[in-house]
Amino acid sequence: MNIIYPSHSKPLLSVLQGQAQWPPPVWLMRQAGRYLPEFREWRNKADFLTRCLTPDIATELTLQPIERYGMEGAILFSDILILPWAMGLSLDFVPEEGPVMTPVRSSQDLKKLQIHQLFEKTEPVFQALRQISSKLKNTKTTLLGFAGSPFTVACYMIEGRSSRDFTTVKHLMLSDPLFFEELIHILVQTTAALLIKQIAAGAEAVMLFDSWAGIVPSFLFGRYVSEPTREIIKEIRKVYPQVPVIGFPRQAGIMIEPYAQQTKVNAIGLDSGADINLACKVLPDNIVVQGNLDPVSLLVGGKQMEENIRALCYSMRNRPYIFNLGHGVLPQTPPENVARLIEVVRKL
């Protein structure tokens, strides 16, 4: 099925299709978040999962930063752990701690996953996408769907929570590769299916977040980071060959080049620790670059932020480029700093 988008009216989509824009389009990871007072109001009314799984709420939260700032990209308000939750794992978001879920650490645990109920339990996500797509019709804003990459989702599923070093994940990756590969295989299939359904519901591009790619040893990076991503993109392109895919292998370092070559992503999001100019020297010319202002620079604001924004944009002027952060907007960020960021980019 081929979809032809009016890319001339959607700057972000045009860039993802390889057409450089000046000034570059801008959106921010976690642009719908705790730094916005209107977002915080909803935190007092409903817990996180309820917000993700109530279409009207997810729609409103997705569109809050668009209505306030007019970013060129609107990313669905949801979470990468909706996928394992939909397969039957308990999930709770604990204040000051983050996600806590049932750990999965053996082949017997994998047999308990309820893959058959995936679409039924995630239907509210697709309903939200349909609503957002309808509201963004005839605008210049591109609707982005997303999912976690298999390795990162596996990290949370195995540990049962976030971790500083993911020791249990590394231990099982090395000591029980059959289990680990079976889990990755399940996540490849379910993630591809989830993203295809997101596109069917209105997502015009999708992003794969591999937040913990940087902890994988280089000799296993291809097997557990690049190859699963490649398989997901292959499945998406069987159905939607023209829909762009952004990969975000956070802290991949020197593995960014083989990641780009192996996965065939359309665009790569760079984290704040990456040298964007050096990355551009090793990345293929057809790869769109996204990133990578430090979220702390946005938090501090002022002259240093403006100089950093201009330096980033001008260094990317001759390449298809999307302005973004190297990670998500920090909760304590003043909303006026985000407004100034958008203004600086627009006035280039």
Query: For the segment 27-50, what is each residue's pLDDT rounded down to a tens digit?
Result: 999 999 999 999 999 988 999 999
Q: Would the annotation count 98 as a binding residue? A: no
What was the pLDDT predicted at 162?
86
Average pLDDT of span 165-171: 93
Q: How far apart are CA 275 and CA 251, in angstroms?
A: 11
47, part of any domain: yes
| pLDDT, mean of residues 71-89 | 97
71-80 mean pLDDT: 98
Q: Which domain holds residue 24?
A: 7-346
Domains in the chain: how many in total?
1
Give a yes or no: residue 1 inside a domain.
no
Taking the CA atoms of the chain, what radius of gyration do you get in angstroms? 19
**Cα distances (angstroms) measured from residue 11 to each of 14, 23, 28, 74:** 5, 10, 15, 12
List all residues 6 or more positions away from 289 whose beta carbon is below 8 Å from its beta carbon.
Answer: 267, 268, 270, 276, 279, 280, 283, 316, 319, 320, 321, 322
Strands of the chain, DSSP E: 73-75, 91-94, 98-101, 142-148, 205-210, 245-249, 267-269, 288-293, 321-325
Residue 192 assigned as binding residue: no
Q: Across residues 139-148, what is the average pLDDT?
A: 98
Is 74 assigned a ligand-binding role in the annotation? no
Question: Could you tell me the pLDDT band of residue 3, with boundaries at 50, 70 and 90?
Answer: very low
Beta bridge pairs of residue 142:
73
- pLDDT confidence of 95, banded at 50, 70, 90? confident
What CATH number did the domain enclosing 102 receive?
A: 3.20.20.210
The pTM score is 0.95
**pLDDT tens digits along 226-276:** 999 999 999 999 999 999 999 999 999 999 999 999 999 999 999 999 999
Annotated ligand binding at 33? The verdict is: yes
In a domain, 332, yes or no: yes
Structure tokens at 331: 């909760």
Return the pLDDT at 8.
53
Does the annotation flag 30 for ligand binding? Answer: yes
The structure tokens listed for 45 are: 């009314």
d(C-alpha 209, C-alpha 249), whole Å: 7
285 labeled binding residue: no
pLDDT, greater one: 8 or 152: 152
Please give the full DSSP string across 125-168, using - where no structure is assigned: HHHHHHHHHHHHTTSSPEEEEEEE-HHHHHHHHHHSB--SS-HH
Q: What is the pLDDT of residue 1?
A: 31
Q: Does 262 reside within a domain?
A: yes
- Give domain status of residue 23, yes or no: yes
Residues designated as active site:
30, 34, 43, 79, 156
Q: If residue 318 lies in a helix (H) or strand (E), which one and from where to where?
A: none
* Residue 2 forms part of a structural domain: no
Pair of tokens at residue 241: 């060959």
Does residue 178 form part of some domain?
yes
Confidence bin at 318 (pLDDT 50/70/90): confident
pLDDT, tens digit (0-9, with 9 covering 90-100), for 151-163? 999 999 999 988 8
Q: Please determine, for residue 194, whether its predicted confidence score (pLDDT) is greater than 80.
A: yes
Is 34 a known ligand-binding residue? yes
Check: CB of residue 292 under 8 Å from CB of residue 325: yes
Question: Of 47, 156, 54, nearest to 105 (Cα)?
Answer: 156
Decide: helix, strand or coil at residue 336: helix
